[in-house]
Structure 1
Amino acid sequence: MRTILVSGDGAEEVAAATALHHARQGLTTHLLAADDPHRVLDDVLGTRLTDQAVRYADALTVARTDGPSAFRAAIDGLSGVLGPAFDLLGATPLDPEELTPLPGTGQLALLRSLRTVRDQVLVVAAPRPAELIAALALPEQLDRYLARLLPEQRQAARALRPLLAAVAGVPMPAEWLFEARTRAAAALAEARAVIEAPGTTVRLVVQAAAPRAAELRRIRAGLALHRLRLDAVVAHRALPAAATGSADPWLAAHAVRERDTLAELAAELDVPLLTSRQPGPALEAVAEQLYGGAAAPQAAEHPWWVEDRLAEDGLLLWHLALPGADRAELELVRRGDELVVGLGGYRRLLPLPAALRRCTVSGAALTDGTLTVRFTPDRDLWPRGLTEGIG
């Protein structure tokens, strides 16, 4: 399955053209509007979208996420396991008509859609980049919280719960809590499988008249920190190529500046820069401008890997590719067996590879978009018999 998350200024039109392009290649395609409160995609398609998929063209269905419905469905699914808790507290559950979406409901609706669509290609008119990154990072964060609050060891001890309660003198979690944790973990695993799949990529849309390269670099770094694959940047609604030769001096000068700015942006990027041009033509023409007969854009590979330099320098080096990262916005903290990495408004807790957990951090450097963290083996923790060759 191919999943393309289109985010940025003009994402709705680009997402619609992208979906139409794949459908015309004979691939069953689903176009999904996520976080589109003002129904921009409805206007682009000329049809009113609901949470029920409808056919728009051959091999192409369209729908929108429905935050309130997703929230009510989640509460309905938990009503059985939450019943004992309500009874214990003497509380009365809310009626479905009383339920209103909470902050974050849109993110949960998007994650739910990612793991339920079964077409060959899923194209999402996604939220703005910061909100999209937060939504895609949510399964990993929630899974971490579940592991801390209800670890697997406690689940494994369910059969011994009465005995443990008697020995410890404190009540153990009830069965419904373990069941809820199991269901939540399974749903999070399904969402993470889609997000981390090789076929899932992000396509950023910028306005050709003002691409804001510095902002794009920060978004790029946030995507890289969460290992989200960027496959292309779309410069949307650029002036026609002929505008550089216009008889109007203002228009010609503006077109030349725009052309030069986009050329500089293309030289800086490690992914293709696609261009759609004004005036806004039909979706078929936008798809032709963006993709034509070319192969689908491929995400650039930015591996993270550990380099063994024990024999030469007594070090292990962890290389983290973070294109777009700015040293001034970089924060690093070692916390037990994790490395906390902050980049501006983005933050992630990275579990250390097994070998690095036996080391101490001895330095770090950010060079050409790659963060290199230096680790020195701790002789008290390093396997006996291997310390003689260190350093």
Structure 2
Amino acid sequence: MRVLLFTGKGGVGKTTLAAATGACLARRGRKTLVVSTDPAHSLSDAVGVRLSDEPSEVDSHLYGAQLGARALVDDVWDSLRRELASALSGLGVDALDAEELTVLPGVDELLSLSRVQRLADEGPWENVVVDCGPTAETLRLLALPDAAVGYLRRLSGWRSTTRVARSVDRFAAHVESLRALLTDRDTTTVRLVLTPERVVAAETRRTLTALALRGIAVDGVVVNRMMPAAGWWRGAAASWLRTRRAQQDEVVAELRQGGLTGRTLRTVEHRAVEPVGVEALLEIADELYGETNPLVGESTATTLLQTTEVDGGFRLRIGMPLDKDSEVALARVDDDLAVTVDGFRRLVALPEALRPYTLTGAESDARGLVVHLEKPE
């Protein structure tokens, strides 16, 4: 089983490229599900078939589903929420306050991701291609398993009833399995989609860093809507095309030189006609993959944490791509190291041997951050 997650800034064409990848895999005889968690609901438009929450056949070996987060109901979460509200009320918390305290932020998005995992586990698919929402929503979505685990750990600090304890444990185990799926590099990888514009490219580099912080592998980048070469054409339109294409080529060259080393970068030309339907999607797939395997990309297999002992302390390397203009902040929070890069934050659990040591400084290089930890006097 392979799971490919496609994401990118809104409007860059990620839905079309996700659908084209699924159509290509299906045409090569692999039973494939393309599922969308994007609130825009444009997957139906791309494949030319009306889709719903339940997978339906689009073409031979190709199936599609379009998830509506608000319509999803998870029995485990609902029962847990009711039990927690009841337990809090029993402790003297007002009923309305108890209800508010048991609302997990982002639960709708978490249920969407949970539904994708269930489809992957229970369906007959060899591959699942996910059309995620725009980058900001996707990063929040992919951060939710970590956030939910922290939330549930705090809840499990008090165990008012055995029934609540069982519900917390069931939901925590479910979220842990979801996190394991996302961080399993052999199963799940991300493909980032962008258009060849510097503002979009800058966001893509920040996304690479944010995903690395989560331990999620990016194995490919697709630059969509490249202008066609003007060739021997003459006139104002041809001149405009050459100028625009030259600018786009500069952006692609900068991407290749900075931050994307070790990841497959593919390009797709802009179409004059909107691609709708399986045959149009297969034309894009031919340009995108040619004779290569759509499942094979390149991912820089960097271990998130590596420690090296030095005189008087340790050096802790946090492996992640950093842009030269990235804003980085570090802080100790109990036994964790809070790492914030360009507004994206993650608590990284320090190895037990390093917990007595004090954070004294940090530096960055081409492979990420190097944190200095020294033993207190």
Q: TM class, shorter-chain normalised?
A: 0.7 to 0.9
- How big is the shift at 1:209? 5.3
- How big is the shift at 1:180? 1.8
Number of the residue aligned with 2:181: 194
Alignment of 1:1-391 (within 5 A): 1-8=1-8, 9-37=12-40, 39-71=41-73, 73=75, 77-78=79-80, 81=83, 84=86, 104-116=106-118, 117-118=120-121, 119-151=125-157, 173-198=160-185, 199-208=187-196, 212-240=200-228, 242-247=229-234, 248-268=238-258, 269-270=260-261, 271-279=263-271, 280-281=274-275, 282-295=280-293, 296-310=296-310, 313-326=311-324, 329-378=327-376
Deviations 1:16-55 (A, max 9, x none): 0111122223222111110233x21111111111001101
Task: Give the secondary structure class of the aligned counterpart of 2:133.
Answer: coil
Deviations 1:284-310 (A, max 9, x none): 011111111124213221223434333
Task: Give the secondary structure class of the aligned counterpart of 1:363.
Answer: strand
- How big is the shift at 1:193? 1.7
Cα distance between partner residues in 2 of 1:323 and 1:114: 28
Task: Give the secondary structure class of the aligned counterpart of 2:211.
Answer: helix
Query: Does the 8 Å contact 1:360/1:375 carry over to 2?
Result: yes
Deviations 1:138-186 (A, max 9, x none): 11121122222314xx66xxxxxxxxxxxxxxxxx12332122112112
Cα distance between partner residues in 2 of 1:133 and 1:112: 15
- How big is the shift at 1:225? 1.4
Task: Give the secondary structure class of the aligned counterpart of 2:216.
Answer: coil
Moved more, 14-23 or 291-300: 291-300
Cα distance between partner residues in 2 of 1:221 and 1:147: 26
Q: Classify 1:83/1:354 alpha carbon distance in 2 versus 1 (closer, same or farther; 3 Å).
A: closer
Counterpart code for 2:72: A
Segments of structure 1 that go 5 or more residues without pairing to the other structure are 93-100, 156-172, 380-391
TM-score by length of 2: 0.83
Segments of structure 2 that go 5 or more residues without pairing to the other structure are 97-102
- How big is the shift at 1:56? 1.1
Query: Does the 8 Å contact 1:34/1:106 carry over to 2?
Result: no
Cα distance between partner residues in 2 of 1:189 and 1:72: 16
Q: Classify 1:108/1:289 alpha carbon distance in 2 versus 1 (closer, same or farther; 3 Å).
A: same
Number of the residue aligned with 1:385: none
Query: Does the 8 Å contact 2:44/2:66 carry over to 1?
Result: no
Number of the residue aligned with 1:97: none
Counterpart code for 1:42: S
- How big is the shift at 1:80? 7.1
Task: Give the secondary structure class of the aligned counterpart of 1:358.
Answer: coil
Counterpart code for 2:297: P
RMSD: 2.7
User: Sequence identity, in percent?
Assistant: 31
Query: Does the 8 Å contact 1:245/1:252 carry over to 2?
Result: no
TM-score by length of 1: 0.81
Q: Classify 1:74/1:264 alpha carbon distance in 2 versus 1 (closer, same or farther; 3 Å).
A: same
- How big is the shift at 1:337? 1.0
Counterpart code for 1:19: G
Moved more, 50-59 or 213-222: 213-222
- How big is the shift at 1:59? 1.8
Query: Does the 8 Å contact 1:211/1:235 carry over to 2?
Result: no
Cα distance between partner residues in 2 of 1:302 and 1:352: 17
Larger Rg: 1
Aligned residues: 348
